[in-house]
Amino acid sequence: MVLMLASMEAVRRLMDLRHRGRAEDLPAVLAAAAPLLDAETATVLLVDYAQEALHPLRGTVPDMTTGFTVDGTPAGLAFTTARQQWDGESLLWLPLLHGAERLGVLEFRVKAYPSDSDRHDLEVIAALVAELIASRRFYGDAVEHTRRRLPMQLAAEIIWNQLPPLTFAVDGTMVTAVLEPCYDVGGDAFDYAANGDVLHVALFDTVGHGISASALTTLTLNTYRNARRSGLSLPDTYRSIDKWIRAQYPGAFVTALLAELDMATGTYRRISAGHPAELFLRGDGALPSLPTPNALPLGLGHMVARRPGVVEQQLEPGDTLVLYTDGITEARDASGALFGPERLSEFLVDALRDGASGPETMRRLIQTIISYEAGELRDDATAAMLQWRRHTTTS
């Protein structure tokens, strides 16, 4: 009973940050609350933009921890698997999840492995800390200072500020994405929104790079959202974006996949505006690609009189679709060989067969692409995975 009351006091102290406080105040509050949780220390470790390492949140007492690499460490394993990890002696790592979005891990230094009830209390604390990070991050730059390990170029700053969280899940359906080079991206972007039973997903690849490309991408993203929020159909959404690009950036164009998934029935509908076809995975293999393209790139649609066609596909529970930009498949190794759609398909099938989650599969994919190009991407590389797991409509 005493420990339960102490845990509630720790919750109360953390809850106070909801109304007053910044993300950088969180380390000090956690340090004071740790003894109430029968822990010596409690430390927030956030993943960097490249998803390569976990770093102490700015405001953490120096030398308390130096952080960990994601690959090859227990802390990293807690992040990649979204499951707790114990070092067998004194350190316990719990994943920090905001919904399905992986933020990092919460490290506890304890005298002994916690009992089931005490561990449940720590899981509640981890969930609350994740919510506080997500809600307080916009009132200061502590989270950004922690996650950035290199200077971010202005074009990338503009794009990242436009994007939704990398991962979202609702009732068994998940969408998760990656974007590289994370500090210098300019022309690629993705978006999604769940409205009722419909999950809207879009992937964009803007011609060019740098500030000019990011400005065009910003217009494209916000025109897409405006059309979606106005209730326009996929063809009319295409026509709206096409019109605005042509009006504001004559001669420029954006390739795109504009898609909708009925999460109750598994009906998938999309327009490919001059974009590569998504990969269609089922079970342990890949199915034939959907027809592409079925419309000209956005900004060039006026060249034909017909309305853009919509491709429809009925998914089965467990199906996976992977949308990607050509920076993925056109990555080249030292000999000039393309990574290619076939190698991409094999990678994804193997990762999913091994039981990797969607977010972890995407993280491994982008690391593989970077390694394939010897650490330096020649083009923006973006991919989004859509997994349908829903079987029935909610009542």
Phi/psi at 251 (nearest 5 deg)? 90, -15
Q: Assign 389 a pLDDT band (cuts: 50, 70, 90).
A: confident
Task: Indicate whether 28 pLDDT > 90.
Answer: yes
| CB-facing half-sphere around the CA of 101: CA atoms within 13 A | 16
pLDDT tens profile 280-330 = 999 889 999 999 999 999 999 988 888 899 999 999 999 999 999 999 999
Q: Assign 392 a pLDDT band (cuts: 50, 70, 90).
A: low
* Best CA proximity match to 276, nearest among 330, 237, 224: 330
- Mean pLDDT taken over the chain: 92
Check residue 314 and give its pLDDT.
97
Which neighbouring-strand residues pair with 279? 322
Which neighbouring-strand residues pair with 3? none
pTM of the model: 0.92
- The region of weakest confidence among 5-19, 73-87, 156-170, 243-257 is 5-19
Exposed/middle/buried for residue 368 (C-beta within 10 Å: 0-12, 13-18, 19+):
middle
Task: Indicate whether 5 pLDDT > 80.
Answer: no
pLDDT tens profile 51-84 = 999 999 998 987 666 789 999 999 999 999 999 9
Q: Mapped to the 3 state alphabet, what secondary structure does 86-151 carry?
A: ECCCCEEEEEEEECCEEEEEEEEEECCCCCHHHHHHHHHHHHHHHHHHHHHHHHCCHHHHHHCCCC
Assign domain 2-147 to its CATH superfamily. Answer: GAF domain (3.30.450.40)
Q: Assign 1 a pLDDT band (cuts: 50, 70, 90).
A: very low
Do the beta carbons of residue 178 and residue 363 sit within 8 Å?
yes
Q: 147 CB contacts (<8 Å, ≥6 apart)? A: 46, 47, 48, 49, 55
Where do the DSSP E strands lie in 173-319?
173-180, 188-195, 198-206, 254-262, 267-273, 279-282, 285-287, 311-314
Give the strand pairing for 267-273 and 279-282.
unpaired
Give the integer Cα–Cα distance in Å for 211 and 156. Answer: 9
Do the beta carbons of residue 134 and residue 103 sit within 8 Å?
yes
Task: Indicate whether 223 pLDDT > 70.
Answer: yes
Map out the domains of the chain as residue ranges.
2-147, 154-387
pLDDT tens profile 194-214 = 999 999 999 999 988 889 999
Q: Assign 391 a pLDDT band (cuts: 50, 70, 90).
A: low
pLDDT tens profile 133-168 = 999 999 999 999 999 999 999 999 999 999 999 999
Percent of the chain surpassing pLDDT 70: 96
Assign domain 154-387 to its CATH superfamily. Answer: PPM-type phosphatase domain (3.60.40.10)
Q: What is the mean pLDDT of residues 375-395?
A: 79
